[in-house]
Amino acid sequence: MNVNLSRIRLIMMREWTHRIRQRSFIITTAIMVIVALALVLAPTVISAIWGDDNGDADADTVIVADQTGSDGFVDQLNAFANASGLGDAVVFLAGNADLDPADVVSDGDADGVLTISRGDGGALNFIYTNDDGELDQTAVLAYSAAGEITLQDNLVRAGIDAEQAQQVNTAPVITVRSSDGQAASAEDTEEGFRYSIAYIAALMMYMMVMMYGMWVAQGVVEEKSSRIMEIMINAARPTELMFGKVIGIGMSGLTQILPILLVAGVGLFSQERLADALDVTGIEFSGIDFGAISTSLVVFFLVYFLLGFLLYAALYAGVGSLVSRQEDVQTMMTPMTFAVIIGFFGGLYTLSAPDSLVARIVSIFPLTSPMAMVPRVLLGDPAPWEIALSIGLLAATGYLAVVLAARVYRMGVLMYGQKPSLKVIFQRDRVTAAR
């Protein structure tokens, strides 16, 4: 097929520049950027407004008033906090033996005071003072630490040497497991994050195909109802018109999506700083590991977006060519909408069972693969030939869809208000010319 690239470029640029200059495009994009930013920042901002107002972003400080005269308790306490995984949340500091706990707490110099003394029998005595006397996380930590320190102290006082006492007093190793037998671990957090990325990828693919596919359909119907089609078809080949239109609208879509992703990304990165600034605690950011988004993944997503969009946009354009009035677009689009939704469900299924037979099929079948293969690459282990087959099939189907859509479009020029039959669509050179 003899296709003129400079004409495709012209049509593409017209679609792109004309569309992104429209007020409706600018306003919609601005609103979407704001909504995305709001969604990303919502947890932090909401905590800042409604969260605990005692909250400081730093760790709780506990001043230790050691009246026993022996030092080392502060180190032991901090070591215990670290071993319990709360090293960042609670810090024990040495203070004067004779400070007034109530004063220290009410002045706000510390979140709590741990007073250590010895009773008549030499046994250790602990008093923990905080502002409301409640058993909060820090109090529980102090309580547990006190238990361990007391045990060690008792052993030493019973005549066992310190090193042996240490060994006897080894803290138990406790692992918290979930019911599926997987240990909660850092790897798990990463897995969760990959899952989120996979879900977002499928969802975005679905939304973009749906939204921008609709733009293509509306663009075609606009050309039909404004009757400019007849001029366009005279100046350029239908295939050129189709490729130019689909690529141009795809670019408009990316022009809308990229600022949104950029702002959302910046929002995520600046979360911690924002949390600091707003004095918010208790939000876990450590699970967000952008390392999971590799360059190859981004490229992968883009390839599937471009090819998947090509396929779906061509189908939308073909269906749009059968419609004469803007009002009829929605009705005619219903089957298309179903196809996209089925694709999305295919993607969702892949999330739960990435290497199952169904997932393998939907990640290769062209209408579902854009929404299923990216999650599968993230969560499962597709064979290279599967990926190659999937991309190849998608590209071939996309190309065929464009050519077919071009033919329907071509024929639509001459048929206003009547429904062309499938037979007519496939007839060459009869109602439609070969151009």
Partner 1 sequence: MSLSIDRVSKNFGDFRVIDDVSFDVQQGRMFGFLGTNGAGKTTTMRMILDIIRADTGTISWNGTLTSDVSRREFGYLPEERGLYPKMPVDDQLLFLAQLYGAERQAAQRSLDHWLRRLDIEENRHKRVEQLSKGNQQKIQFLAAVLHDPEILILDEPFSGLDPVNAAQMEDAFNEMKVQGKTIIFSTHQLDQAQKMCEDVAIIHRGGLLITGDVQSVRESTGQKILRFGVQGEADLAWLDRYPAAEVRRRGRDHVELRIPDEELAQRILRDAVAAGKQVERFEVTVPSLNDIFLTEVQGSGASAEDIERIRASSSGEEAA
Quote the least distance from Cβ 227 to partner 1, whole Å: 3
**Binding of partner 1 by 54 (CB under 8 A):** no
**Binding of partner 1 by 357 (CB under 8 A):** no
What value does the CA radius of gyration of the chain take, rounded to a whole number of Å? 33
Q: Which of 3, 14, 46, 273 binds partner 1 (CB under 8 A)?
A: 14
Give the nearer residue to partner 1 in terms of CB position, either 214 or 359: 214
Would you give the distance in Å from CA 16 to the centre of its chain?
28
Here's the x/- map for partner 1, 175-214, by CB under 8 A: it reads as ----------------------------------------
Tell me which residues in 321-350 interact with partner 1 (CB under 8 A): none
Give the nearer residue to partner 1 in terms of CB position, either 422 or 434: 434
Give the nearer residue to partner 1 in terms of CB position, either 11 or 48: 11
Quote the least distance from Cβ 213 to partner 1, whole Å: 21
How many residues bind to partner 1 according to rule CB under 8 A? 27
Candidates 4-12, 41-49, 57-65, 71-79; binding stretch for partner 1 (CB under 8 A): 4-12
Quote the least distance from Cβ 214 to partner 1, whole Å: 18
Give the nearer residue to partner 1 in terms of CB position, either 178 or 421: 421
**Binding of partner 1 by 7 (CB under 8 A):** yes
Largest CA distance in the chain: 111
Tell me which residues in 21-40 interact with partner 1 (CB under 8 A): 22
Quote the least distance from Cβ 11 to partner 1, whole Å: 7
Here's the x/- map for partner 1, 406-435, by CB under 8 A: it reads as -------xx--------------x-xxxxx
Here's the x/- map for partner 1, 221-240, by CB under 8 A: it reads as -xx--xxxxxxxxxxx----
3-state SS, the chain, equals: CCCCHHHHHHHHHHHHHHHHCCHHHHHHHHHHHHHHHHHHHHHHHHHHHHCCCCCCCCCEEEEEEECCCCCCHHHHHHHHHHHCCCCCCEEEEEECCCCCHHHHHHHCCCCEEEEEEECCCCCEEEEEEECCCCCCHHHHHHHHHHHHHHHHHHHHHCCCCHHHHHHHCCCCCCCCECCCCCECCHHHHHHHHHHHHHHHHHHHHHHHHHHHHHHHHHHHHHHHHCCCHHHHHHHCCHHHHHHHHHHHHHHHHHHHHHHHHHHHHHHHHCHHHHHHHHCCCCCCCCCCCHHHCCHHHHHHHHHHHHHHHHHHHHHHHHHHHCCCCHHHHHHHHHHHHHHHHHHHHHHHHHHHCCCCHHHHHHCCCCCCHHHHHHHHHHHCCCCHHHHHHHHHHHHHHHHHHHHHHHHHHHHHCCCCCCCCCHHHHHCCCCCCCCC
Candidates 33-41, 85-93, 192-200, 220-228; binding stretch for partner 1 (CB under 8 A): 220-228
Quote the least distance from Cβ 223 to partner 1, whole Å: 8
Quote the least distance from Cβ 434 to partner 1, whole Å: 7
Candidates 6-14, 28-36, 202-210, 397-405; binding stretch for partner 1 (CB under 8 A): 6-14
Give the nearer residue to partner 1 in terms of CB position, either 189 or 326: 326
Candidates 14-22, 134-142, 206-214, 361-369; binding stretch for partner 1 (CB under 8 A): 14-22
Torsion over CA: 10, 12, 14, 20 (sign): negative
Interface with partner 1 by CB under 8 A: which residues? 7, 10-11, 14, 18, 22, 222-223, 226-236, 413-414, 429, 431-435
